[in-house]
A and B are shown apart, each in its own frame.
Chain A
Amino acid sequence: MGATSQEIARLTDIGFEAWFEDQTRRTGPSALAEFRALASATAPSPDPHSQGLRGNYISANEILYKALVTYDDHLRERVAFALSQIYVVSIYDGQIYDHPMTAISFYDMLRGNAFGNFRDLIEDVAKHPGMGLMLSHLGNVKGDPNTGRIPDQNFARELMQLFTIGLWQLNDDGTQRLDNSGNPIPSYTQSDIVGVSRVMTGWTWSEENATWTSRLSFYLRPTSMTTPMRASANFHEPGEKSFLGVTIAAGGDPEADLDRLLDTLVNHPNTPTFISKQLIQLLVTANPSGAYVKRVADAFRNNGQGVRGDLKAVVKAILADPEARDGRFVAQSTYGRVREPVLRMAGLQRLLRATDVDGVGFYQLIGDDPLRAIAQSPMRSRTVFNDYRPDYTPPGSELQRLGLVSPAMQLVNETTIYGWQNFIGGFLDNAGYGDCCSEAQRRTLSLRLDFSEFTPLVATPEALVDRLNLLLMSGQMSDRLRAAVLREIGKQGENSSRTGVRMGATQLKVSRAIWAIVSSPEYLVQK
């Protein structure tokens, strides 16, 4: 998520094994409870951007940032955020936008499963009402032979394409299997989608009755929004269901049919590779070697105790792998992943110990706007396909020529480069009056940044750059960038920020040094 001096000291002190075990034991608070507390607060937000609304999509954004920035189980948060990019329930969706409580509940579910078993995760995903809204299998009913109406295929398709096996049959190293003519081989066909769509019928709100006639307004019922859907046999497809070489006999009940489907998908040969490679790309590096993919997928297949799908073992295999930790890999020209805007933002808030002054802090602006903000917000991608695709490669690039990808680069373009530079400059300047003004003035802000770890170092610029290099760039700063940052620290004169708030000259130097670092491609590629 973003290093802090304390966390580095702790890791160095106890070692990776103990640190990892400690992190996986931590659970953090319930984001849903925090969201509800925020929603029930009565005072309107003083921030004009929130328009006085509470418990809405803005509150959801605040809680998600609060989790990423402040919860003490930050490895769990980091993995849950990665999972939220594979299992997408987006607050951008109209229904979820109106009821973001279900998205926060979904996020809590991902956190709960982050080091659990994949089979539990995928079942919780399939039954969550947020996903039911997102991919419209909530209220999906059996076909009607009289009218020709057929079950909704939305979830059925994405369950296979995005959530478990992927479109193409894979080799163990993550490459596509090819047929004799050199063409990739599909993992499933349209008739498999039809079969799965028939399984995914009969599910609806947990508080609905078996005949779906309760007349409850579910959108006003927090229990239905945040508890697994229930199934009714009355609306479940009664006929046979065939998919991926499996046929479920007619007359099965919805729970048993779903179990059979999910068992089939979890045990499909693609699943360990398909999921492991994406998690590597989301956590460590965009172009992992085939051997790295295989090592992690092996951990998925068997955690060492004969258990398939142990995500704790998978995450550990990803983070402990030589390809994640050995400097020789880091030095390769194809190594790393583009640090996406949400993680940059969360990392900076962690670095500067962001505190919420009035209960509605934590970066409450929705960050979608590419020019005035950062073009990304947690759980707010436009579609179920996340903000970027795992196979995105910049057109015309050397990466493309080499057959390599840079997924999160899909968020980096001419507009968002300037958007980031402008936004983050204002953010650093605005939120951290620090050493300049009265407490009353500072209280007008909802978020405060704390520069006090760094301002004493301004007198020794080399030490300041060393500290920022360690915390923001894992000590990888080039000499050229270092020289540029030092020049900025050495500049004289200006002592007010661009936004007109007077800022002490000392803190301004820290702010500008951080700005220069986080504007650089060296920082923007996490290595």
Chain B
Amino acid sequence: MFEHIDVSRRRFLRRASVAGGVACLPALWRLGAPQNADAAVPADYRALICIYFSGGCDALNFVAPYDVASHTRYAGYRGAVALARQSLLPLQLANANAFAGRQVGLHPRLTYLAQLYAQGDMAVLGQVGPTPAPLRKTNGAAQTVNGAALPPGIASHVDQYREWLQQKRDGVYWGWGGLMSDTYRSGNGQPQLTNISTASYSPLLGGRVTSQFTVGHDGTPLSEYLSDYNDSNGTTVAIAGGSANRANLLEREIAVTFERLRGGAEALSAATPSTSLFAVQPPGRNELAQQLAIVLRIASGASSTGMKRQVFYCTHGGFDTHSNQLARNDADFTSLNAALNWFVPEAQRLGLFDKTLLFTTSEFGRSLVANGDGTDHGWAGHHLIIGAQVKGGDVYGAIPELDRAGDDFTSTGEMIPKVSVDQYGAALARWMGLSDAQLTAAFPNIRNFQSQTLGFI
């Protein structure tokens, strides 16, 4: 854990003087973890980088069954969509008996990721998915042990996209990356740049206070045309801003976005170094690498504007592989591997690899049973966490038993989560410095699980 500074210097001095001196400091600390958004200003810089696999990444061909017994069953279920066992990149487990002898191997295109795993900079989180509580299988289907309702729309793209990246409170969905950032946002020099998407709208990033700031691959330039207008005569505001005076709520929201843009874009442009920052330029025609490049540029300039905590969101691939799965996975994993093979060395060189955590998400894994040359929608999946701070070189969570009649799959072939997205998110949020109380506020369902941090950081 990083050193937690509860109050800003200014607040501390003011409180201290009212209370009569520094002797009151320990008492202040005992008041408990900060709940208020403006209470914590951490000393160091940390950033989470979410890579979202669009379309539902097939966990079983991403981190595939490797032990002979599992692979044989997998090959039986998968037919033409099975990867050959000898092509997989096996992952050593810290404890070979941890998962009843079951082992996994990476997709053959993920050679650099296998290297990251071996050198301890990458962990695998197995069998994770949205669920409010631990599950057990009854009559072929999953049920929560505490009777809580299952997430709505299991195996539906839009619903599981939301269930993965958002938390529902009082009928409203908030991105958990946003709820997380609500707690430290005001400690950032440019609060409106706290949560940044390189890929248009992301459900992850909007909280109660925090909104998403969106950038293109080149950052966000100012409008060439708007700069023709002289702000002093109010033209700019009349045309595009003035949110407070707009009665129509749809118009108002556009104006709010415009104003956020005006505030953030200048600061971002000023603080973001150019691509000459890089020793090696990101691979061309690799959209993920382009996204990670702008993330690295922004992160490397962040300290100059007093940024302490940021959450970034990137997307990758077309993983909705109902057909032609082997070729499509090949392409998407090749580019994922190339993007990270560029990103990690650059992040290391820039001193950012120990200040950032990459983590992957996707709306669901895919069904155990193939439909010909593809697979259909599933539920739980396997994911990766990458960074110097990761306790890498091991698999956390679970490795499923490949049996539709067993406990790890529904009878129709969807993998049943053993780890909840809430636990996954909470583990990342704790690394970002959230207190126990803040964690529970952001992820109330973690109370239903034994482990709240999963141990991978």
Contact between B224 and A410, CB atoms less than 8 A apart: no
Contact between A414 and B254, CB atoms less than 8 A apart: no
Contact between B371 and A149, CB atoms less than 8 A apart: yes
Contact between A422 and B224, CB atoms less than 8 A apart: yes
Contact between A183 and B149, CB atoms less than 8 A apart: yes
Complex interface bits, A399-413 against B, C-beta within 8 A gives 1, otherwise 0 = 111111010011111
A525 touching B250 in the complex, CB below 8 Å, given contacts A403-B171, A421-B223: yes
Contact between A333 and B249, CB atoms less than 8 A apart: yes
A234 to chain B, nearest CB (A): 15
Contact between B320 and A383, CB atoms less than 8 A apart: yes
With both beta carbons as reference points, the residue of chain B lying nearest to A420 in the complex is identified as: B223
Contact between B214 and A418, CB atoms less than 8 A apart: no
Task: List residues of chain A with CB within 8 A of the CB of B221.
Answer: 371, 418, 422
With both beta carbons as reference points, the residue of chain A lying nearest to B205 in the complex is identified as: A395
Contact between A167 and B156, CB atoms less than 8 A apart: yes
Asked whether any CB of chain B lies closer than 8 Å to the CB of A356, the reply is no
Contact between B201 and A333, CB atoms less than 8 A apart: no
Contact between B200 and A136, CB atoms less than 8 A apart: no
Most chain-B Cβ atoms within 10 A of its Cβ — which of A190, A382, A397, A521? A521
Query: Of B154, B223, B250, which is within 8 A of A336 by CB?
Result: B250
Query: Of A147, A396, A403, A522, which is within 8 A of B79 by CB?
Result: A147
Q: How far is the CA of A515 from the CA of B239 in the complex (A)?
A: 10
Task: List residues of chain B with CB within 8 A of the CB of A413.
Answer: 197, 200-201, 212, 214, 257
Q: How far is the CA of A465 from the CA of B234 in the complex (A)?
A: 19
List CB contacts (< 8 Å) of A493-526 with chain B: 498, 515-516, 519-522, 524-525
Asked whether any CB of chain B lies closer than 8 Å to the CB of A153, the reply is yes
Asked whether any CB of chain A lies closer than 8 Å to the CB of B153, the reply is yes
Task: List residues of chain A with CB within 8 A of the CB of B201.
Answer: 392, 410, 413
A47 to chain B, nearest CB (A): 21
Asked whether any CB of chain A lies closer than 8 Å to the CB of B216, the reply is yes
Contact between B76 and A398, CB atoms less than 8 A apart: no
A414 to chain B, nearest CB (A): 4
A258 to chain B, nearest CB (A): 19
Contact between B254 and A141, CB atoms less than 8 A apart: no
Asked whether any CB of chain B lies closer than 8 Å to the CB of A527, the reply is yes
A387 to chain B, nearest CB (A): 9
Contact between B247 and A333, CB atoms less than 8 A apart: yes
Contact between B159 and A167, CB atoms less than 8 A apart: yes
Contact between A418 and B222, CB atoms less than 8 A apart: yes
Q: How far is the CA of A415 from the CA of B376 in the complex (A)?
A: 34
- Number of A residues whose C-beta is below 8 Å from B? 81
Binds B, one of A10-18, A210-218, A291-299, A481-489: A481-489
Contact between B218 and A422, CB atoms less than 8 A apart: no
Task: List residues of chain A with CB within 8 A of the CB of B355.
Answer: none
A183 to chain B, nearest CB (A): 7
Asked whether any CB of chain B lies closer than 8 Å to the CB of A328, the reply is no
Query: Of A410, A524, A527, which is within 8 A of B254 by CB?
Result: A524
Binds A, one of B117-125, B260-268, B434-442: B260-268
With both beta carbons as reference points, the residue of chain A lying nearest to B210 in the complex is identified as: A396
Complex interface bits, B212-236 against A, C-beta within 8 A gives 1, otherwise 0 = 1111111011111110010001110
Most chain-A Cβ atoms within 10 A of its Cβ — which of B210, B235, B260? B235
Contact between B377 and A153, CB atoms less than 8 A apart: yes
A520 to chain B, nearest CB (A): 5
Query: Of A152, A394, A527, which is within 8 A of B253 by CB?
Result: A394
Q: How far is the CA of A328 from the CA of B208 in the complex (A)?
A: 32
Most chain-A Cβ atoms within 10 A of its Cβ — which of B152, B209, B239, B265? B239
Asked whether any CB of chain A lies closer than 8 Å to the CB of B178, the reply is yes
Contact between A484 and B238, CB atoms less than 8 A apart: yes
Contact between B235 and A488, CB atoms less than 8 A apart: yes
Task: List residues of chain A with CB within 8 A of the CB of B197.
Answer: 413
Contact between B249 and A141, CB atoms less than 8 A apart: no
Asked whether any CB of chain A lies closer than 8 Å to the CB of B385, the reply is no
Asked whether any CB of chain A lies closer than 8 Å to the CB of B55, the reply is yes
A427 to chain B, nearest CB (A): 11
Complex interface bits, A180-212 against B, C-beta within 8 A gives 1, otherwise 0 = 000110100011001000000000000000000
Contact between A483 and B238, CB atoms less than 8 A apart: yes
Most chain-A Cβ atoms within 10 A of its Cβ — which of B154, B245, B369, B371? B371
Contact between A418 and B251, CB atoms less than 8 A apart: no
B304 to chain A, nearest CB (A): 20
Asked whether any CB of chain B lies closer than 8 Å to the CB of A266, the reply is no
Task: List residues of chain A with CB within 8 A of the CB of B8.
Answer: none
Asked whether any CB of chain A lies closer than 8 Å to the CB of B41, the reply is no
Asked whether any CB of chain B lies closer than 8 Å to the CB of A370, the reply is yes
A404 touching B249 in the complex, CB below 8 Å, given contacts A135-B322, A190-B155, A413-B212: yes
Q: How far is the CA of A335 from the CA of B370 in the complex (A)?
A: 47
Contact between B225 and A515, CB atoms less than 8 A apart: yes
A395 touching B250 in the complex, CB below 8 Å, given contacts A418-B223, A521-B258: no
List CB contacts (< 8 Å) of B120-134 with chain A: none
Query: Of A135, A191, A425, A488, which is within 8 A of B224 by CB?
Result: A425
Asked whether any CB of chain B lies closer than 8 Å to the CB of A165, the reply is no
Q: How far is the CA of A371 from the CA of B216 in the complex (A)?
A: 6
Q: How far is the CA of A403 from the CA of B170 in the complex (A)?
A: 11
Query: Of A152, A410, A418, A488, which is within 8 A of B371 by CB?
Result: A152
Contact between B372 and A149, CB atoms less than 8 A apart: yes
Contact between B248 and A415, CB atoms less than 8 A apart: no
Asked whether any CB of chain B lies closer than 8 Å to the CB of A317, the reply is no
Complex interface bits, B65-95 against A, C-beta within 8 A gives 1, otherwise 0 = 0000000000011010000000000000000
Task: List residues of chain A with CB within 8 A of the CB of B103.
Answer: none
Q: How far is the CA of A184 from the CA of B318 in the complex (A)?
A: 31
A152 touching B374 in the complex, CB below 8 Å, given contacts A371-B216, A422-B224: yes
Q: How far is the CA of A403 from the CA of B221 in the complex (A)?
A: 33
Complex interface bits, B53-73 against A, C-beta within 8 A gives 1, otherwise 0 = 011000000000000000000
Contact between B218 and A371, CB atoms less than 8 A apart: yes
Q: How far is the CA of A521 from the CA of B377 in the complex (A)?
A: 39
With both beta carbons as reference points, the residue of chain A lying nearest to B238 in the complex is identified as: A484
Task: List residues of chain A with CB within 8 A of the CB of B235.
Answer: 484, 487-488, 516
Q: How far is the CA of A488 from the CA of B55 in the complex (A)?
A: 46
Query: Of A398, A412, A484, A519, which is within 8 A of B252 by CB?
Result: A398
Asked whether any CB of chain A lies closer than 8 Å to the CB of B350, the reply is no
Contact between B155 and A417, CB atoms less than 8 A apart: no
Contact between B371 and A153, CB atoms less than 8 A apart: yes
Q: How far is the CA of A52 from the CA of B412 in the complex (A)?
A: 49
Task: List residues of chain A with CB within 8 A of the CB of B318.
Answer: 94
Asked whether any CB of chain B lies closer than 8 Å to the CB of A119, the reply is no
Contact between B212 and A415, CB atoms less than 8 A apart: no
With both beta carbons as reference points, the residue of chain B lying nearest to A391 in the complex is identified as: B158
Task: List residues of chain A with CB within 8 A of the CB of B79.
Answer: 147, 149
Contact between B152 and A418, CB atoms less than 8 A apart: no
A417 touching B249 in the complex, CB below 8 Å, given contacts A151-B371, A383-B320, A395-B178: no
Contact between B233 and A487, CB atoms less than 8 A apart: yes
Contact between A414 and B210, CB atoms less than 8 A apart: no
Q: How far is the CA of A480 from the CA of B264 in the complex (A)?
A: 25
Asked whether any CB of chain B lies closer than 8 Å to the CB of A286, the reply is yes
The 10 closest A-B pairs by CB, nearest first: A395-B206, A425-B225, A484-B238, A371-B216, A414-B261, A413-B214, A521-B254, A521-B251, A136-B322, A154-B322
* Given A400-B172, A409-B254, A480-B242, 9 further pairs, Cβ under 8 A: A136-B374, A152-B371, A154-B322, A183-B149, A190-B412, A395-B206, A406-B250, A413-B212, A521-B250
Chain A interface residues (CB < 8 Å from chain B): 94, 135-136, 139-141, 147-154, 157, 161, 167, 183-184, 186, 190-191, 194, 286, 333-338, 369-371, 375, 382-383, 385, 389, 392, 394-404, 406, 409-419, 421-422, 425, 480-481, 483-484, 487-488, 498, 515-516, 519-522, 524-525, 527
16 A-B pairs within 8 Å (CB atoms) are namely A141-B372, A150-B371, A152-B323, A153-B377, A370-B214, A371-B220, A385-B158, A409-B250, A413-B257, A418-B226, A418-B265, A421-B223, A421-B240, A425-B223, A483-B238, A520-B240
